[in-house]
Structure formats: C-alpha cells, structure tokens
Amino acid sequence: MQRYAVIGHPLGHSLSPLLHNWGFRECGIDAQYEAIPVAPAELTRFMARVRVEPLAGLSVTIPHKQAVMGLLDGVSYAASTLGAVNTVFWKEDRLWGENTDVLGVETPLRGLGPFHSALVLGAGGAARAVVFALQEMQAPEIFVAARDAGKAKALAEALAAKPVAWEDRARVQARLIVNTTPLGMLGERQDQSPWPADAPLSPAATVFDVVYNPLRTRFLAQAEAAGCRTVSGLEMFLHQGLAQFRLWTGRNLDPDKVRDLLRQALK
C-alpha cells in the first residue's frame, strides 16, 4: 500500500484526508492518506524518512511551505516564484515540489473574466498565490491591500502588483475582489468581514473568498446582497486538491462528486 500524508504544525481539522482517501477508493488505488503533525525542529529528519520509507507524496501546510523547499531535489517555476511548496511528489527518482494553490485560484475563475482590475485583500501565502495566478491570467492591473502595510508593499514589489492602503481598499474600482485574510473563518473571526460594512460593492464585481469554512462567509453574504457574482473558498480547496491527486496518480477525479463530498462534510 502506498502512503500519502499532510504535514504541518499544529494540524487542525483538514478535509484533505477525506478528499484523497475517497479518490483512492474511487480509482481502485491501494493507498492511504493520513495527517502527520511535524514540528519545525523535526522537519529535516522527517523528510529524510520520506525518502527511505518512502512516502509516495505529501501535502504541505503551515509552517513548512518555505522550509521544505531546501529539502527537495527541485521545485516548479510557480513554487520557486512564490517561495512556497504545498505539494511534494516523486518525479522519476527525484523528490519535487509544486504549488497547486495557483491552479486552485485559476480553475474556478476560468471563464468568468476577463478581469481588467483585481483587488487582493491580505498579503500572506494565499495572497501570493492569488496574485501569481492573476498574472498568469493576464489581469492588467492587480492591487494588494493588507492590514500590515509593510507586507502588502513587499508582496506588491515582489510580484509587480500595486500596494493600496488598507483604509483605501473600498475605493479601488476592481472587477474582481479576492479575500485571502482569515476574516470570516469559522471561530472567533466568523462574524468579521474584510470589507467595510458601510462601503458599497459594485454588482459588476466578482467576489472570491478563499475561506471555505463556513461555506457562506460574511463577506460572501455582503457580495450576494449587492448582486455580485460570488466564488466560494471551497472551489480553491477543491481544485488545488484535485491537482495534487493528479500529480500523485495521473488520474482525474470528478470535481462535481468531490464538491458534493466536501459540502456534506462541511454541513
């Protein structure tokens, strides 16, 4: 039996085992996917173990997305540009790193554009993946706004976007607005939104919230009320996971079936 895993520290509840183990069963693949907490001090030793056992593939989450890069034989252009790996797989006999978050952004937005201007809220790893994906989609103008102005400026400079002060975010006339902050996430931030309550949203805008739990965040509710087209964060999680599965197995899963599976789990 082949073994796959998600590694991070701490590892909260993840839908990845549900997605991938369902996929293995669906395709008749003798494999198992598990969650393995790996502390930062244990990462080097763990990655040595991956080569010896070997593990057939990994999902990589916080805080290892950057650190794991130096422990691999190579990384893709996207992963190198973003400075982050979320997927580890074997390429012949070499351990390789990829970032499928980019496909997680591009796939649900395909066919919804073109977006002549885009506003990305937040400046963390997800924001970097979103900006990179929008550049791949040839969005001509990409703005970045974050509560930490220094991080927004650094991200904008690294990826040729335009920084905007957090307090000025609602003044940007963007046809696509993407939230990559944790505002609205299940828990203590669930009632929060990255968009000011008194600021109108254009009904011509598309609003994408990468938060997927809850499925309908406060931000998406604001967007729906304004008549915007909305994209749930579940779509990003779904398509980055499908891309991982394809890298590991060469097989394509039915996105509609996996979406239903994940929706039921979140309910």
Exposed / middle / buried, residue 162 (Cβ in 10 Å: 0-12, 13-18, 19+): middle
| Residue type (1 letter), 48 | A
Two tokens, residue 194: 């990255």
Least Cα distance to 231 among 92, 133, 88, 91 occurs for 133
What's at 30, amino acid-wise?
A: D
The residues assigned a catalytic role are 65
How far, in Å, CA of 4 to CA of 35, rounded?
Answer: 9
